[in-house]
Structure 1
Amino acid sequence: MRRRSQVLTLLTALLVAALAYGIYYGIRWPRQLHRDWQVVDRIRLSRPDSLSLGPDGRLRYVTLETIPGFLVELTPDGPKTVFGDFGEPDGTLLLDDAIVVSEEDTGGRVLLYHFASARLRVLARIDHAEGLLRQPDGRLVVAQDMPGGKLIEIADDGSTRTLVDGLDQPEGLCRLPDGRIGIAESGRGRILAHGPAGTEVLADDLDGVDQIACGADGSLWAVQSAVRSGRLVRIKDGHRRVVMSRLREPQGIALAPDGSVYLAETRANRVLHLKPR
């Protein structure tokens, strides 16, 4: 009980600090937003990273890239800690009755948390584990964010196998409408598609590409993470549009069924909710 109280006190202090710093950042480095889009909400959190939507299409779970890291649930009463005291969190993947979180550390863990039992277990240890995706057969795919990185599959029994190798810092993953895996290859600034026929380059010249999202309409959403010049880019039919720029280290992205977008702006300590005008 004492441990939980300490965790809640720490989280409250972090949220207060996030609010103050976010206001300072907003004044000094105002973002640039495309005229076709509007910000409809701002959620103050300390160093938000990866995002997961609930069944209702609203933002539900967020990892906090604090020290130590936390996974929080957004409730009507405010953020609630699901679990914490772990290494640098990165990817999240919401399943039917559980959530998976990856740690981007050397010897990082891929963690599975069951909501009903409140049990946490380690599925695998993978150096610099980042993006997460689920295969149609239930296997998990994890991106290994390092030079010479891989996409690694994890089976239910914890065994692993390499799905793709020779990648340069793969980070975000998403499922393309045709079933292939979209891969953000940060080291080379490009987005790849991997499927049975091999690997294809979908887009390049995306320095600092971090997390990505695949739209049902065939669009690609790419977050270019930089401390003061981050961007959110939408790519469709070969055309690119910068939706937002001058962002402060944006990372996580989630596309909602209603066409809106959630974006984690890590250094600004906030999650932005964007909607088309």
Structure 2
Amino acid sequence: MQVVTTIAGSDSGGGAGIQADLKTFQELKVFGTTVITALTAQNTRGVSGVLPIEAAFVKQQLQALLDDFSISAVKTGMLFSSAIIHTIAQIIADTNIPLIVDPVMIAKGGESLLQQEAIDAIIHYLLPIATIVTPNIPEAETLTGKKINTIADIKKAADHLLATGVHCAIIKGGHLADATNATDYVFFKNGQAFSMQTPRIATKNTHGTGCTFSAALTAFVGRGLTIKEAIIEAKKFIQLAITHDLALGHGHGPTNHFAYQNDKKSCEVTIYES
């Protein structure tokens, strides 16, 4: 049984954050451990409160895990502050554990989940030690300072991210104006690249998609898949989770973390090598 860790915020609505990560880990047959960076009061309609955890206690949580478990992969989600990011980076830098960074900045309802000074900390301290970073278009624009409207813009943004030291950048294309397909773009530091395409699903129930995708990626990396294999399987996981949404709540409902095991053989991802 592989052990993986999520370092993220708690979502009281259960659709994103720590809760989404643990559901994904369970479905993918890895043992999930947690480091909680903040508590949130939220539901499908939005975030009504955030209570950050002190960086010293974040450190204590992470160190407790490393002192006891052999962890095969770590992901970060909502990190909130530069102090928390510094703390995590200092500890993870002394390990050889693959690190997947989901640069969570804005909740689905538009609320900020990351302090402004924390963005620089992600760029200068977390990405240089990361294996994979998984921004959507707005997050990639914030991290790079580059506006993204075209595929060429995506390539430039990816080059900017790879220059920080991260091994692989996945820029998720869900915000691009394509009514037919959802295409994600994957770039490696060695120059290799490919894109993944699935049909776009017409639904408002997309709360926690970024958390769920990166958690699935973490689970597959932790299980020993190659990075490319893990990325493709994680794309299948989130595609099925969106396709078979649960229709819960009155806002942006959660995805279905239980769909993959039943339908994974039927889910097709079109791969375009670059």
Tell me the TM-score normalised to structure 2 length: 0.36
Q: Which structure: greater strand fraction? A: 1
Q: Which has the larger radius of gyration?
A: 1
Tell me the TM-score normalised to structure 1 length: 0.36
- Indicate the structure whose relative CO is greater, using CA pairs within 8 Å and at least 6 residues apart: 2
Q: Which structure: greater helix fraction? A: 2
